[in-house]
Amino acid sequence: MDMGVEGSVVCHSGVMKTRNDEIHRLHSTVCKALSDPKRILILDTLRHGERSVGEICEMLDLPQTNVSQHLGVLRSKGLVHSRRDAQWVYYSLVSPKVTEAIDLLVEVMETTKTPNV
Amino acid sequence: MDMGVEGSVVCHSGVMKTRNDEIHRLHSTVCKALSDPKRILILDTLRHGERSVGEICEMLDLPQTNVSQHLGVLRSKGLVHSRRDAQWVYYSLVSPKVTEAIDLLVEVMETTKTPNV
DNA sequence: TCCGGACATGCACAGATGTGAATATACACG
DNA sequence: CGTGTATATTCACATCTGTGCATGTCCGGA
């Protein structure tokens, strides 16, 4: 009698059902998007507004092919939105919560004192 | 003149230096810890206080070997702390910010409407 | 000191994933 | 329509990482 709060069903000798599914979806979307350093860098690049692919490449000094691949992943995970304007494609965050989350993760890192690398 | 705020050095035709390093450390610690669904589940298990390895195994229905491996990763990343009591080892979060971050990531997932899987 | 339970570690392997090279597609312009 | 620029996609490959199995270590009890 110390858990089982917040609307989740607890199956004894089993797993919390809805919470389990929720976390698996969390992993396959947001967490998987953050599981590569370059993708985090790209998201950070979009912090202050939309950027074209070429602008991101220049800011991060990365080849275009690679940036397009990562942007494709981020879009498939639903974290960024793309808008075409003539020859250029501009990417932007679907929500400011994305960078808010990154900032909170940085806070977590700092409170954990990052023991080893 | 649209970026370069918050104490980071911007190298034109280069990359933001200190921010770059910060994000790479973020990835190799916190984000890498969250890059596996079972590890997120384990962290969620510790939300309300410390648990022994056996308790975590039972709650998540996972083999002990596997749980120990993941706990080893989480400890090496600095997200959990371990305490030995007789034959048992109790794990706990180093900071409540860990689950706060997970909760915010869930919020991000929900705002992005998770388009595909 | 021997035994059993709790937990950790090393190893081998399969599956996932980031990367570059080459190529394809979309668009503007003349 | 042909050319150049911007971006996306496919493919092959090297690397990483989660997993199970077997084993090792730590601890308490008889």
Count CB atoms within 10 A of the CB of residue A29.
Answer: 23
pLDDT number for residue A8: 53
Interchain CB distance below 8 Å, A26 and B102:
yes
Closest CA to A47 of B8, B116, B83: B8
Q: How far apart are CA B29 and CA B78, in angstroms?
A: 7
Q: What is the mean pLDDT of residues B41-67?
A: 98
Distances (CA, A) of A106 to A98, A110, B84, B85: 13, 6, 29, 32
Minimum-distance nucleotide, CA of A55 to C1': D6
**Structure-model confidence comparison of residues A42 and B17, the more confident one:** A42
User: Two tokens at A42?
Assistant: 């790209």
pLDDT for B62 beyond 80 = yes
Closest CA to A94 of B101, B23, B113: B113
Look up residue B57 and give its amino acid: C
Question: Nearest CB to A111: which of B22, B48, B97?
Answer: B97
Q: How far apart are CA B76 and CA A44, in angstroms?
A: 26
Q: How far apart are CA A59 and CA B82, in angstroms?
A: 41
Nearest-neighbour CA in chain B from A87: distance (Å): 23
**Structure-model confidence comparison of residues B21 and A15, the more confident one:** B21
Low-confidence ranges of chain A (pLDDT < 70): 1-17, 114-117
A84 touches strand C (CB under 7 A): yes
Look up residue B112 and give its amino acid: T
User: Two tokens at B69?
Assistant: 């491996």
Q: How far apart are CA B18 and CA B39, in angstroms?
A: 29
Interchain CB distance below 8 Å, A35 and B30:
no
pLDDT for B115 beyond 50 = no
**Percentage of residues in chain B having pLDDT higher than 70:** 81
Question: Given the structure tokens 């305490």, which residue do they identify?
Answer: B83
Distances (CA, A) of A105 to B98, B101, B104: 8, 6, 10
DSSP state at residue B2? -
Best residue of A26, A35, A114 to probe chain B, by most B CBs closer than 10 Å: A26
Interchain CB distance below 8 Å, A23 and B14:
no
Distances (CA, A) of B59 to A3, A65, A115, B62, B94: 11, 44, 28, 8, 21
Provide the residue count of chain A: 117
**Structure-model confidence comparison of residues B111 and A14, the more confident one:** B111
